[in-house]
Structure 1
Amino acid sequence: MRKELYIFKDGKPLTMTIRGYGLSDFEQMIAVQQESFPPPFPEDLWWNEEQLAEHVARFPEGAICAVAEGRLIGSMTGLLVDGSSLDGDHNWAAVTDNGYIRNHNPGGDTLYVVDISVIPAFRKSGVGKWLMQTMYETVVHLGLRRLLGGGRMPGYHLHKEEATPEEYVRKVLEGEWRDPVIGFLLRCGRVPVGIAEGYLEDEESGHCAAIMEWRNPFFEAFEPAEA
């Protein structure tokens, strides 16, 4: 998969390529993680080369990156899972095999987002939205039911004494409070369908995540007609 499009940086159009990442990209992939998630984000959650090798080998369709100005500026990774296994509470480590995706299920009906990263210099340029759109296209192309994943709630720590995680998300949806990650996912078309507690080591989010979904509007067309 490879496509070229325009993003806007500092008010000017700039060519960006979205493509699959491979072995030659690993060093830059790790650098993107380090730049995107500086401390206090846990350093042991940055990608390592073994994880990246598993992504490329097991589900290359879910291993994509964005390139502009001669360097990687963002990436997104996913795996396929059986959607029924995600009913109720779950955490990032269990669903993603701690980011190694060795539990990738080729017969799964749900593309689960492992990670999306964009370096600070290119945020608000549309990079993340285009990466997400590309994953939606993958969902449609593979005839999957949906895309699902946990969204951080970095603004929750400002309100955790006055609201539960569920109440916090409701306030964001009502426009009373703002959250940069949930807001981004909403603008990408994702819809919150639940809260996962103990999702990830993330003090800003109260270790919780908003589970957010995008349903394939064409899925019914892939299902066999009843006899």
Structure 2
Amino acid sequence: MDENADTLLNLRVIEVGDYQPLAELMDLVFPDVGGAWPKSTIMQLVTAFPDGQICIEDNGKIVAAALTLKVAYNRFSIPHTYADIITDDGVVFHDAKGDALYGLDVFVHPDYRGHRLGRRLYEARKDLCQALNLKAILAGGRIPGYHKHNDLTVTEYINKVRRKEIHDPILSFQLSNHFDVKRLMNRYLPEDGKSAGYATLLEWDNFFYEEDASSVHDIEKTIVRIGVVQWQMRHVLSVDDLLNQAEFFVSSLSNYQSDFALFPEFFCAPLMGLAPEKGSVEAIRFLSEFTQTIKQRFSQLAVTYNINIIAGSMPVLEDEKLYNVSYLMHRDGSIDEQYKIHITPHEQRDWVIDGGETVKVIETDAGRVGILICYDVEFPELGRILAEQDVQILFVPFWTDTKNGYLRVRLCAQARAIENECYVAIGGSVGNLPRVDNVDIQYAESAVFSPSDVYFPHDATLAEANANTEMMIFADVDLDKLKMLHERGSVTNLKHRRPKLYANHLSQE
């Protein structure tokens, strides 16, 4: 770059006559992986998808470029190789009906690095993705800095790049441009010695993507943000004191554009401290006197803050029987309820609570959801009933006093996510209530779990709170990935069920 010349940048589409300067630039940037592509390959791209081939020129000289395809999201959001995109003969697999972009290459003249030309090209790709109403941008990202860190496994290397402990010339750049690493791909480009043949599968989601629908208001939401409140039990002076605390969390979750806010089981228990002289049976019935007020206030909060709220659970007295009930306050003002089905020995013995009789999927504006209150998630039959009604997200408000109890909830919740191919969010309480009988100690590590397959995080955990710390966690769940899992998962639990066999065994009992 001539520092004495005035820079005059222009971003434009690549034309047929640009091959020679483009090839020279590719030879300069990619000497370790073969240099320039054949002219026939570039011409295929320019002819088949002209809008996807862009360059930046400085005073008429091409100094940076980006080459892009259209592909089917379902095909290339799973592991693949470079040969699935371009054959050894240079044939490009462009899908004119594809619903995603695939970034082939972005390259910048060495003299122009530091001028953020790569970022300009990435932003142009994002604009194109949104203009064409495509789901996402996918890319196979080389990790050319890996050869300098042979003491690390490739996973360790990627994690250190993520934490910015190591700089990788490609991966660091892609992460800074808001691409997510979805998984590792082995033998993506075998001749890439610097990357040891590895690549990361990267994805940038177009949050403005709209499915085909007769009206924009009919579009089914596919990316859903879940917020979970890990609630600290503390002394309160009144029901307004408790509700003000709850409103703070609802407001905060709304500010982060959450679609759901999950509160824990019996989050309202501090109100029992207003009558410390009462025994356990009287205290829980005293608590039920506040339920209607809390229910109405939470419904108002859902409407005001435009967020669906799973209001943990609260005691409800009906016909002299006490139930443990969770309410889902929709942001349109409607309310659904789910009674706890299985009552723990503690609830039966100390509070004389009865169990409900039905479990159901609830339709919301952000997916089909179910609620299993604490102990209920430890019974696989309930999760399966919801799965048969096509549940997508399972919410589990819980209260546990020991880590043993917490692990029962957690491990069973993870099992429900795997066997029913759905997301599961668990939300509990922390702290202590020394003035409240039978609710004195809390233990929780709230979390959001996914199924365990290639479409999801390697540990099937989307978000996780710190143990015994009041906080909020967030997780974005992709409902479309559940559809892919149902059809193309490594294992497909729902499809491989054998209900007749199970029924035969049950009938023999």
Over residues 168-191 of structure 1, what are the superposed CA-to-partner deviations in whole Å (9 max), with x where a residue is unaligned?
111111222221211111122211
Partners of 2:10 and 2:126 in 1: CA distance: 17
Residue number among 195, 202, 209 corresponding to 2:184 in the alignment? 195
Alpha-carbon shift at residue 101 of structure 1 (Å): 5.5
In structure 2, C-alpha distance between the alignment counterparts of 1:226 and 1:136, rounded to whole Å:
22
Distance 1:116 1:213, change over 3 A: same
Check whether the contact 1:15–1:68 (CA below 8 A) recurs between aligned residues: yes
CA distance in 2, matches of 1:226, 1:117: 37
Distance 1:226 1:63 in 2: 31
| Residue from 10, 19, 35 that aligns with 1:26 | 19
Aligned equivalents of 2:21 and 2:212: distance in 1?
Answer: 40
Residue type of the partner of 2:19? F
Residue 42 (str. 1) matches residue 33 (str. 2): yes
| Aligned partner (choices 12, 36, 50) of residue 60 of structure 1 | 50
The one of 70, 74, 90 aligned to 1:80: 70
Match of 2:169 in 1: 180
Q: State yes or no: 1:129 paired with 2:119.
A: yes
Per-residue deviation, residues 101-137 of structure 1 (Å, max 9, x unmatched): 5421111111001111111001111111101110111
The 3 A distance-change label for structure 1 pair 57 and 156 is same
1:79 and 1:101 in contact (8 A); partners too: no
CA contact (8 A) 1:51 1:100 kept: yes
Return closer, same or farther for 1:129/1:13 CA change in 2, 3 Å cut-off: farther
Structure 2 runs not aligned, ≥5 long: 221-509
Aligned counterparts of 1:192 and 1:127: Cα–Cα separation in 2: 22
Cα RMSD (Å): 2.4
Q: Residue 9 of structure 2: which of 6, 16, 34 is its match?
A: 16
Write the distance in 2 (CA, Å) between the matches of 1:116 and 1:135. 10
Query: Could you tell me how far apart the structure 2 residues matched to 1:208 and 1:57 are?
Result: 31
Counterpart code for 1:82: A
Aligned-partner Cα distance in 2 for 1:185–1:80:
19
Consecutive unaligned residues in structure 1, runs of 5 or more = 1-8
The 2-side partners of 1:226 and 1:190 are apart by 25
- AA at the equivalent of 1:181: I
Task: Describe the superposition over 1:178-207 as per-residue Cα deviations: whole angstroms up to 9, x where unpaired.
Answer: 212111111222111111111112111111
- SS of match in other structure, 1:29: helix
Give the superposition deviation at 1:212: 1.2
The alpha-carbon distance between structure 1 residues 97 and 135, as it changes in their structure 2 partners (threshold 3 A), is: farther
| Equivalent position SS for 2:203 | strand
**Residue 155 of structure 1: how far off its partner (Å):** 1.4
Q: For the residues of structure 2 that align with 1:140 and 1:211, how far apart are their CA atoms?
A: 20
Q: For the Cα contact (< 8 Å) 2:84–2:93, is it kept in 1?
A: no
CA distance in 2, matches of 1:35, 1:158: 21
Of the two, which has the highest radius of gyration?
2
1:198 maps to amino acid? R
Residues in 2 aligned to 1:226 and 1:121: alpha-carbon distance in whole angstroms: 47
Please give the per-residue CA displacement for 1:19-61, whole angstroms capped at 9, x wherever unaligned: 11111111111011011123xx133x52221111101111111
2:153 maps to 1:160: no
TM-score w.r.t. the length of structure 2 is 0.40
For residues 99 and 89 of structure 2, what CA distance do their matches in structure 1 show? 19
TM-score normalised over the length of structure 1: 0.86
CA distance in 1, matches of 2:86, 2:128: 18
Larger deviation, residues 62-71 vs 86-95:
86-95
* 1:214 Cα deviation after fit: 0.8
Determine which structure has greater relative contact order: mean sequence separation of CA pairs < 8 Å that are 6+ residues apart, divided by chain length.
1
**SS of aligned partner of 2:20:** helix
Question: How many angstroms apart in 1 are the aligned matches of 2:194 and 2:151?
Answer: 13
Residues 1:93 and 1:47: Cα distance change in structure 2 (over 3 Å): same
> Sequence identity, in percent?
27
CA distance in structure 1 between the partners assigned to 2:76 and 2:155 by the alignment: 18
Separation (CA, whole Å) in 2 of partners of 1:182 and 1:122: 19
Q: What residue in structure 1 maps to residue 235 of structure 2? A: none
1:55/1:101 contact within 8 Å kept = no
SS of 1:111's equivalent?
A: strand
Distance 2:89 2:6 in 1: 34
Distance in 1 (alpha carbons) for counterparts of 2:20 and 2:77: 36
Amino acid aligned to 2:208: F
Distance (whole Å) between structure 1 residues aligned to residue 89 and residue 120 of structure 2: 22
Rounded to whole Å, the distance in 1 between the matches of 2:144 and 2:41 is 25
